[in-house]
Amino acid sequence: MQVWKFGGTSVGKPERMHSIRELLNSDPSRKIVVLSALSGSTNALIAIGEAAKAFDDAKAAALIEDLKTHYGLFIKELYATPAGRANGQTIVDNEFGFIKSLVGIKPFTIKQEKELVAEGEILSTKMFQAYLEEKGENSVLLPALDFMRIDADGEPELATIEEKLVTILNQYTDKQTIITQGFICRNPREEVDNLKRGGSDYTASLIGGAIRADEIQIWTDIDGMHNNDPRIVKRTFPIRELTFEEAAELAYFGAKILHPSTITPAKLRGVPVRLKNTMQPEAPGTLIANQTSDRDIKAIAAKDNITAIYIHSTRMLNAYGFLRRVFEIFEKYKTPVDMITTSEVSVSVTIDNSENLDKISAELREFADLEEHDRDQNIICIVGNFSADKEGIALKVLDAMKHIPIRMISYGASEHNLSLLIHSKYKAEALNVLNERLFYYEDAMKDIFTAP
């Protein structure tokens, strides 16, 4: 069995949903199909929630009407028959009736907000299942809220997911296609919750891991993971193969095509992940698996909104226990640290969640001196096979960056990652100069020095 996930752009237009059906039928394997909300819907639902929170009923009602109109037009093109359209209209009327009732609850709490945001995936999957039914396909809609669980820390409970899903799937052995929602889940209080923005990729990987799928395919609007951010850099190309470790580093450090946690369940259960393009299905895409390929430097990614914290020990040389005390504070505030550099008396760290920064700083000041934090920083992450015997990689990176001020460097923690901290104003320049130096320079040199 395979798990195929289609993102917001892949379900965002009626004709795209038609293409998904064709894609599903062009491959004989049984599949669990994970769908995101129509592109733009999650943002629109969040905006409705913001208006409700602010007691701005008129604004909330207007935003709801706009979104409902969008869905009304969508279903007109999605279905071919009057019966199909009537079915689609019932789905839209029911879900928007529910959305209105949610927004009417005062005060509008986080519980209602999560139920509201979940409506994006509920609508897309119900509409798609009704479309497959109209076409007489052998499919069923399986609510993710029946099996997708997170714990009190927001972490998915893989064992529970596996147990519930396997039991449910046993009832549908005759179904060729099983549709479910990405992103949404239940928390330990049984409330509707979610896996955070972009979380449908994670759903697909959790399902793929839970059922030990043959393959997980993430279908999106680009022909695989590119060697650099195509929104910022012009000359990028798709990478054919990545190891789980390389893909995890890229996703964590900003390659938007994958949710940062996607790789973990797939890697745990050894399920390969393939990134494919809905608009160009014949393109090979990117295969993420255990194998390595020989190119040393694979790709570059950038993570935004980073804050750097510079901590100096007041006890000076040979103080032990200092790092433990520092990291206990970050642990206490559940704030992950991305980059770390140390000297004998100082440690610098970066974080991307600065929600508790004031409290963290106050506790650090009890035993350390802090410099002023550097906000609006960017981590540039170069990913590849950097095993200890490889020469010259850092030289190439630093050569490319010679005109850009570097605040921190992290190299050697993993064999797959070299990270640099720079101010975000240099991000586009850094991605572009690294792209030219790391991926095109040698070829350009060959052209210059090879006699025609």
Ligand X SMILES: N[C@@H](CC(=O)OP(=O)(O)O)C(=O)O
**Interface residue list for ligand ADP (CB under 6 A):** 7-10, 36, 198, 220-222, 225-226, 229-231, 255-257
Cis, bond preceding 272 (omega within 30 deg of 0): no
Nearer to ligand X, 42 or 385 (CB): 42
Among 8, 14, 254, 272, binds ligand X (CB under 6 A): 8
Nearer to ligand ADP, 67 or 222 (CB): 222
Enumerate the known binding-site residues for ATP.
Answer: 220-221, 231
Say whether residue 231 binds ligand X (CB under 6 A): no
Say whether residue 197 binds ligand X (CB under 6 A): yes
24's contact among ligand X, ligand ADP, none, with CB below 5 to 8 A by partner kind, is none
37's contact among ligand X, ligand ADP, none, with CB below 5 to 8 A by partner kind, is ligand X
Enumerate the known binding-site residues.
Answer: 220-221, 231
Say whether residue 88 binds ligand X (CB under 6 A): no
In whole angstroms, give the CA distance from residue 90 to residue 78.
Answer: 14
Say whether residue 37 binds ligand X (CB under 6 A): yes
Among 79, 128, 183, 310, binds ligand X (CB under 6 A): 183
303's contact among ligand ADP, ligand X, none, with CB below 5 to 8 A by partner kind, is none
Among 49, 156, 199, 254, binds ligand X (CB under 6 A): 199
230's contact among ligand ADP, ligand X, none, with CB below 5 to 8 A by partner kind, is ligand ADP
Nearer to ligand ADP, 197 or 365 (CB): 197
231's contact among ligand ADP, ligand X, none, with CB below 5 to 8 A by partner kind, is ligand ADP
**In the complex, least distance from residue 222 CB atom to ligand ADP, rounded to whole angstroms:** 4
β-sheet bridge partners, residue 273: 216, 288
Interacting positions 322-341 with ligand X (CB under 6 A): none
Say whether residue 36 binds ligand X (CB under 6 A): yes
Among 14, 88, 198, 208, binds ligand X (CB under 6 A): 198
120's contact among ligand X, ligand ADP, none, with CB below 5 to 8 A by partner kind, is ligand X
**In the complex, least distance from residue 308 CB atom to ligand X, rounded to whole angstroms:** 27
